Amino acid sequence: MSRLKLNRRSLLKGAAGSALMAGIGMPAISYGQADALKIGHLTPRTGFLGPLGEYAVQAADLAVEEINAGGGVMGRKIELIKEDSVNPQTASTKAERLIERDKVLCIVGEISSASCLTIAQVAQRTKNLYINTGGNSDALRGSNCNKYMFHVESQNSMYVKTVGRALLAKNMVKGKKWYSLTADYAFGHDLLKVAKRFMEANGGQFAADELVPTDFSDFSTILTKIRSAKPDMVVSNLAGVQITNFLKQYSEFGLDFPVAGFGFDTAVAWGAGKGNFFGTWPLVWHHLIDTPGSKAFVAAFTKKYNRPPENQAWGDYITMKILARSMTDIKSADPLKIIEHWEKEPKFDLLKTREGYFRKYDHQLMHEMYAVEALKASELKNQWDIYKVAPAVPAANEPLDAIASTKEENACNMPA
């Protein structure tokens, strides 16, 4: 029998109900036979990650509108059931509710790596599918990997190696001392670990590191320490509005040490205001990518919401498109069949210059990234285009997994 809990109405509906009433017995009912294909969308919409969550929800809504306007999937509409995850405990509770009560075929979303883990544990226990669109922690693809979790968002290693290449080209690693600021939760701790591994491998070192609480807003004491330390570079391992506050106050303090970040979302730089964005930063996608798919997405999003999409929006939008494409291709909405399909590494259009795929052994999406350089205030033409257009990383002549963690760096022992 299917793991769907069937009510009397669904039993009596259609041929399956007729067969049961005739005493023949009930065949298994597939997800595709429901009136609507329900997908749970779970992401923080309040708190320090709330501004990013807003982009995620808007993008998911846009994708569903487009999919349904095109006839849906297998002749059925997609219904998006949206929840605010708030924190890891709430994320776990709401994931269970989406699966057990709302009967969603999968869960999409999240930004907090800690919440990603609790959702993944629910997905594993209930044998459902979870697609992470915003959590970066390498551990989610390594020690905490599981069969039912896939990652559209890039892992920390991909962010570090992407911006690391740009810093190596500028001779900002070997023999240099960095002063880093790290978000004090799972994402930040993992990112710091990966960043230190990169530095040690390339001849650099950390002069100091500050753990910054997620509700921290006044950076004055830390900025005073940085001024005294005189580092060769200040590195951000911060997240959400932490980055916005740091950039504003760094500018107000008049510090001129070079800045780079290993984690970044365009929205937090937009929120910092004109003249308060500087340095080198990694992005999983940006609104200036010159491909037909990206241009169409930017145009549709901007028309609907009166602002361009940013990288978090891309993650949730492209996930919905990948799901719809996959269910159409395999003619099934069964989570286990979708997982089986993705583990064969089919290619997907990601609105970039190259197609991507989910790497079988850790379920990480292999795709291009970008290391962007902030424009000077005098170079800004509008409030949105705040960095120089950068070429894709890795280069066209390299495999997509060139920037991903290796098995030696981040072992994933996927449970059977």
pLDDT grade, residue 65 (50/70/90)? very high
pLDDT grade, residue 16 (50/70/90)? very low
Ranges of beta strands (E only) in 4-142 are 36-43, 77-84, 106-109, 129-132
167 and 38 share a domain? no
For 141-184, the pLDDT digits (tens) are 999 999 999 999 999 999 999 999 999 999 999 999 999 999 99
> What CATH number does residue 211 fall under?
3.40.50.2300
- Answer whether residue 3 is part of any domain: no
Mean pLDDT of the chain: 91
Domain count, the chain: 2
275 and 297 share a domain? no
Say if residue 24's pLDDT is above 50.
Answer: no
| pLDDT at residue 19 in the model | 33
Find the mean pLDDT for residues 295-324: 98
396 and 345 share a domain? no
Find the mean pLDDT for residues 302-309: 98
The DSSP call for residue 73 is B
Find the mean pLDDT for residues 225-253: 94
CA–CA separation, 239 and 187 (whole Å): 8
29 and 137 share a domain? yes
108 and 242 share a domain? no
322 and 357 share a domain? yes
CA–CA separation, 316 and 107 (whole Å): 11
Are the C-beta atoms of 403 and 157 separated by less than 8 Å?
yes
| pLDDT at residue 6 in the model | 38
The secondary structure of the chain in percent helix, strand, coil, rounded to multiples of 5, reads: 45, 15, 40
| pTM beyond 0.75 | yes
- Answer whether residue 2 is part of any domain: no
281 and 192 share a domain? yes
- Answer whether residue 224 is part of any domain: yes
Share of the chain above pLDDT 70, in %: 92
341 and 375 share a domain? no
| pLDDT at residue 18 in the model | 35
Are the C-beta atoms of 120 and 144 separated by less than 8 Å?
yes
Element at 308 (helix H, strand E): none
- Answer whether residue 396 is part of any domain: yes
- Measured in residues, the chain has a length of 416
Burial class (CB in 10 A: 0-12, 13-18, 19+), 264: buried
- Answer whether residue 416 is part of any domain: no
| pLDDT at residue 15 in the model | 36
pLDDT grade, residue 10 (50/70/90)? very low
| Tokens of residue 35, six digits | 């009136």
pLDDT grade, residue 34 (50/70/90)? low
CA–CA separation, 98 and 81 (whole Å): 8
323 and 344 share a domain? yes
Contact partners, residue 383, CB within 8 Å, separation at least 6? 270, 274
- Answer whether residue 21 is part of any domain: yes
CA–CA separation, 252 and 128 (whole Å): 48
For 65-103, b/e burial (b = at least 16 CB within 10 A) is ebbbeeebbbebebbbbbbbbbebebbbebbebbbeeeb
pLDDT grade, residue 5 (50/70/90)? very low
| pLDDT at residue 20 in the model | 30
Residue 261's domain comprises 157-285+369-403
| Tokens of residue 193, six digits | 């670990």
| pLDDT at residue 219 in the model | 97
For 376-392, the pLDDT digits (tens) are 999 999 999 999 988 99
Helix/strand/coil for 207: strand
99 and 13 share a domain? yes
141 and 256 share a domain? no
Say if residue 122's pLDDT is above 90.
Answer: yes
